[in-house]
Structure 1
Amino acid sequence: MSERWARALLGTYRWAGAAAYPLVGGYIAWRTSKGKEERSRRRERYGFPGAARPHGPLVWFHAASVGETLAVAPLVERIIGLGINVVLTTGTVTSAAVVRDRFSEGVIHQYVPLDLTPALNRFLTHWAPDLAIIAESEIWPMTILELGSRRIPQILVNGRMSDRSFESWKKRSYIAEALFENLSHVIAQSEIDGERFRTLGARPVTVSGNLKGDTEPLPVDDAALALIGGQIGKRPTWAAVSTHEGEEQVAVSVHRLLKQRHPDILTIIVPRHPKRADALEAEFAAMGLKVARRSRNDRILYDTDILLGDTIGEMGLYLRLTEIAFVGRSLTAEGGQNPLEPALLDTAVLAGRNVQNFRDAYQKLVDRGGARLVRDADMLAGAVNFLLTNPAKRREMIAAGRETVEAMRGALNLTLKALEPYVQPLIVKARLEQANGRRAR
């Protein structure tokens, strides 16, 4: 495939997207009916602004979901601290809730516009960002091309590229090069990620490490922790968190195996998508299990089998109720979820072997003894039982996990250093406008 052909294909994609724009209303309406869009803010997905643009330089941050939002939070706060305005876009209702809870009024939140030219033009014309910073693996062709055509610097931070994405892009290398040449800088999580971006034509590429290693421990409502912790008492616990379809059934299988040796075991299950909780509760009840749901503030009784964590923004609570956590999307699904959050909260980390999206973090944790990978339910049950019956080994694993996270810190400062050439002119611009404003008064 020639470079000219790749550009023609991207041009066709652009026009096809513009033609499809009037037809996406049904798709957004469907997402709204499923609770995946805020009904009152649907227009933001079409690029219509939900707020006025503040005066002065502005950086557009985009973080797809909760994990990416938490990862870039310290970076966003540093940029705001320099006197620069920030509009932060996310793509999910849950991440919007995290933004409301995590940030002060210094951040303007918007839902990310559709990757279609009319929506993007409307968004970019209103917000007129001086710089765009995109988190992790959000590669949207029209967004990249529109930013490039407006000569707005765009930087990928905490960049990662999964095995599957890399293989897919390699088959379309000319398209990748035509897109990635628009990126002003890629700041990658690991050497593997960095080399993949270079192979696909991105320049320059630097490696910072994982920003998630620089995040603070997840917050918790101390009153809720004291209340639920008191209800649990001295019962042994373990958690299966960020689970995807099929992994809750694995957790129940493990629970039944563990109950033979630990009759008063409490299993905490936190599905990645809380809207699945009704179906899960019905399934667990049909198995004869007694379920307490966090969303109903159900009391945990002596014979409660499962605490179903079906709330948003309380992972810090669930992880503080145990010292053993299986991190999902790793057995019946692929890619994995962030293991650094539980490790930072003094939790021994277990996961399946499909953790490609967090390969570097898991490799470091496993090498230091802070995490263990399992292949199936029986192996998971054996690992949980071992940790429950060997407190000294459990403490060793917890300590190794925390030490691993501490050793991974530093990505934030390296990212800020790489961003300096793009941010420094905005600092000067902000100070000049402030000075001019004072003189005008």
Structure 2
Amino acid sequence: MKNIIEDHFLLSTWTALTNCLSPFLPFYLQNRCKKGKEIPNRLKERQGYPTLSRPAGSIIQFHAASVGELVSIFSVIQAIHIQDSSQSFLITTGTVTSFRILENFISHHPILARHIIHQFIPLDIPQWINRFLTYWHPSLIVLAESEIWPNLIKEACQKKIPLALINGRLSDRSLKNWKVCPSLIQNILSRFQWIISQSEHDQNNFAHLQITTDYLGNLKQTAQKLHFNSQELVELENYFNNSPIWLAASTHPNEETLIAKTHAVLRKKWPNLITIIVPRHPERGQEIINEIGMVAQRSKHELPFENGLWLCDTLGELGLFYRLADIVFIGNSLDVVHKGGGHNPFEAARLNCTIATGPKIHNFRQAYYHLQKAVTIIHTIDDLTNWVDKMLSNPQLRKKQACLALEIMEQKSNLATDIGTHLLKLARQSI
């Protein structure tokens, strides 16, 4: 373990500020609960109170904020479990959505599930974090991507719990912000025993702040195939009866309108065409209908109407739709999106899909660079229409593109094992 590091004055300020806010935060949590953003009978977990018993022996904590981060750590957890089948895992998340994804994962891995405990991460209040760490006392805390919780990191260091940051990401925007006070991020990240960047670009950004990281590859590339209901797939394939199908996945506001317009143009040539829209945030279902008109909703158990548009506003079913439609456009990437940034293409590539995306992919720059010629960049609605038409018309080209993407995916097959081995070593050193 590294020696206790003197706090940066801004870190001390953050600790003092969060202590001052703590009396008011229960009301904030209650408000989130009313909005469906928290689970009522588990609300106390957000204050560091446990709702489950701690298993005996070593426990490794993995924290993932987003769905993407959560999916990326599954392969590492599986790799560690293969090396040590007695190892327990505490997985913490901050959203109900991430918890539901974890539930789905656990349901498909019953043996591993016996060694996994889930808790919602406490808000970053010193007293709440201290309560959480005192009870669970993990042998190692593993954070994913850009999760920087100052008080969690500080308390872990004080309790001599080692820290690791995997698939570390530092965007150009974050680099610019941290350059205002580089000593703060240096002070925080110097407490970690191991940091691995998810790309060479991120590694260079960390280096600009004089933070040394390792680069082994992007963990999202090692993610297992998304799960699906095989019976449901057979039923849908029979229902659509070889109709041409394409999918717009993880779409954001304004993109659905362009997808609907593309569908209308394509239907003139492909009258039986089915276009599936899977919004990144399923709760936007009614909002999307207000924009593009009446379409069938998966959340209401509806199948496509005569117009052939199908809004699949459900959670955790991308694995089903990637298998149903192998022509995939990945959203949050077109110019009509306010900020954009793209979404993870590796899940689609793993399932033999032909992939296109828009130009706004800065959050996944390295992932798309890695796939290179296996992905088509779409700039306009005409580009999108022509690309879908081309893929529908040329199954051989479609297969070639999908095979190229899958071939690239297989190049980092040992990454999760290598990372898992090192994390297990860190955890054992702290016991």
Give TM-score, length-normalised by structure 1. Answer: 0.89
- Please state how far the C-alpha of 1:420 moved relative to its aligned partner: 4.8
1:130 maps to which of 139, 153, 175: 139
Deviations 1:19-58 (A, max 9, x none): 1011122322232222221122111111111111111111
95-104 or 79-88, which deviates more: 79-88
- Please state how far the C-alpha of 1:238 moved relative to its aligned partner: 1.0
Ranges in structure 2 where 5+ consecutive residues have no aligned partner: 107-112
- Tell me, in whole angstroms, the C-alpha distance in 1 between the residues paired with 2:258 and 2:7: 45
- Tell me, in whole angstroms, the C-alpha distance in 2 between the residues paired with 1:389 and 1:211: 34
Contact 1:160 1:189 in 2 (8 A): yes
Say whether 1:352 aligns with 2:358: yes
Alignment of 1:210-225 (within 5 A): 210-225=218-233
Partner of 1:246: 254
1:410 maps to which of 399, 414, 424: 414
Say whether 1:389 aligns with 2:393: yes
Contact 1:80 1:86 in 2 (8 A): no
Say whether 1:261 aligns with 2:269: yes
**SS state of the match for residue 22, structure 2?**
helix
Contact 1:247 1:328 in 2 (8 A): yes
Deviations 1:40-83 (A, max 9, x none): 21111111111111111111110112211111112123334412
Contact 2:140 2:161 in 1 (8 A): yes
Say whether 1:339 aligns with 2:340: no
**SS state of the match for residue 256, structure 2?**
helix
Partner of 1:53: 54
376-385 or 309-318, which deviates more: 376-385
Q: Residue type matched to 1:148 in 2?
A: C
Say whether 1:323 aligns with 2:326: yes
**SS state of the match for residue 375, structure 1?**
coil
Q: In the comparison of the two structures, how many residue pairs are matched?
A: 416
Say whether 1:399 aligns with 2:396: no
Moved over 4 A (4+): none
- Please state how far the C-alpha of 1:179 moved relative to its aligned partner: 1.0
Compared with structure 1, are the counterparts of its residues 78 and 401 closer, same or farther at alpha carbon in structure 2 (3 Å cutoff)? closer
Give TM-score, length-normalised by structure 2. Answer: 0.91
129-138 or 25-34, which deviates more: 25-34
Q: Residue type matched to 2:206 in 1?
A: F
- Tell me, in whole angstroms, the C-alpha distance in 2 between the residues paired with 1:32 and 1:377: 40
Contact 2:257 2:291 in 1 (8 A): no
Say whether 1:202 aligns with 2:211: yes
**SS state of the match for residue 22, structure 1?**
coil
**SS state of the match for residue 278, structure 2?**
strand
Q: Residue type matched to 2:324 in 1?
A: L
- Tell me, in whole angstroms, the C-alpha distance in 2 between the residues paired with 1:416 and 1:79: 5
Partner of 1:73: 74
- Tell me, in whole angstroms, the C-alpha distance in 2 between the residues paired with 1:20 and 1:372: 48
Contact 1:6 1:174 in 2 (8 A): no
26-35 or 49-58, which deviates more: 26-35
- Tell me, in whole angstroms, the C-alpha distance in 1 between the residues paired with 2:375 and 2:227: 22
Contact 1:242 1:327 in 2 (8 A): yes
Contact 2:92 2:120 in 1 (8 A): yes
Contact 2:80 2:417 in 1 (8 A): no
Partner of 1:184: 193
Deviations 1:194-253 (A, max 9, x none): 2322332434x2112111222221111011111112222222111111111222122112
- Tell me, in whole angstroms, the C-alpha distance in 2 between the residues paired with 1:365 and 1:191: 15
**SS state of the match for residue 54, structure 1?**
coil
Partner of 1:313: 316
**SS state of the match for residue 23, structure 2?**
helix
415-424 or 320-329, which deviates more: 415-424
Alignment of 1:3-18 (within 5 A): 7-18=8-19
Contact 2:172 2:205 in 1 (8 A): no
Q: How well do the aligned residues superpose, as a CA RMSD in angstroms?
A: 2.0
Q: Residue type matched to 1:266 in 2?
A: I
Q: Residue type matched to 2:34 in 1?
A: S
- Tell me, in whole angstroms, the C-alpha distance in 2 between the residues paired with 1:155 and 1:12: 24
- Tell me, in whole angstroms, the C-alpha distance in 2 between the residues paired with 1:176 and 1:378: 44
Compared with structure 1, are the counterparts of its residues 144 and 240 closer, same or farther at alpha carbon in structure 2 (3 Å cutoff)? same
Say whether 1:19 aligns with 2:20: yes
- Tell me, in whole angstroms, the C-alpha distance in 2 between the residues paired with 1:423 and 1:45: 25
- Please state how far the C-alpha of 1:162 moved relative to its aligned partner: 1.6
- Please state how far the C-alpha of 1:356 moved relative to its aligned partner: 1.7
- Tell me, in whole angstroms, the C-alpha distance in 2 between the residues paired with 1:112 and 1:338: 24
2:98 maps to which of 74, 95, 119: 95
